[in-house]
Amino acid sequence: MRKLPNPVVYFEIPVTDMDRAMRFYTSVFDFDFEKDSIDGNEMALFPFAENERGISGALAKGEIYKPTKNGVLIYFETENIDETLKLVEQNGGKLLYPKTSNGSLGSVAEFEDSEGNRIALHSKP
């Protein structure tokens, strides 16, 4: 089997209140969502542009989706972590890990979203 260079292609963030979660992510990141239903689960698909860097995913609501701070950590790219964290807190999120430099890799931070998930931010140096 051939090893793929970028193996992660999609993610799902569990939510308990889809409308609240969509408002949160739209207010913090200015995302536009496309709603869908997949296998009986309510989905709000994050934007995705072909031939651009990165992956996409969805907010996901259903019996199998349970928000948590203890699972996989997803990083969202942002130009300004400080401004993004202000928007997080203004929209009901909580700071979990303050902006921290990773040297030549940039900076990171973590927050709890409106649903109780731990989400990370990354900005380039």
**In this structure, what token pair is assigned to residue 92?**
């009901």
Domain count, the chain: 1
pLDDT of residue 59: 98
Residues 6+ apart with CB under 8 A from 68: 14, 116, 117, 118
Using DSSP's 3-state secondary structure scheme, residue 108 falls into strand
Confidence of residue 7 (pLDDT cuts 50, 70, 90): confident
Give me the sheet containing 118-123, strands edge to edge: 74-77, 118-123, 107-112, 94-101
Does 4 reside within a domain?
A: no
pLDDT of residue 5: 75
Task: Encode pLDDT of 17-56 as tens digits.
Answer: 999 999 999 999 999 999 999 999 999 999 999 888 889 9
Residue from 9, 111, 21, 34 nearest 61 by CA: 21
pTM of model > 0.85: yes
- Which one has a higher pLDDT value, 17 or 9? 17
Does 51 reside within a domain?
A: yes
Does 100 reside within a domain?
A: yes
Domain of residue 37, CATH code: 3.10.180.10
Task: Encode pLDDT of 45-97 as tens digits.
Answer: 999 998 888 899 999 999 999 999 999 999 999 999 999 999 999 999 999 99
Say which residue the tokens 């090893």 belong to: 3
pLDDT of residue 27: 98
**Amino acid found at 12:** E
Cα of 39 vs its chain's centroid, Å: 22
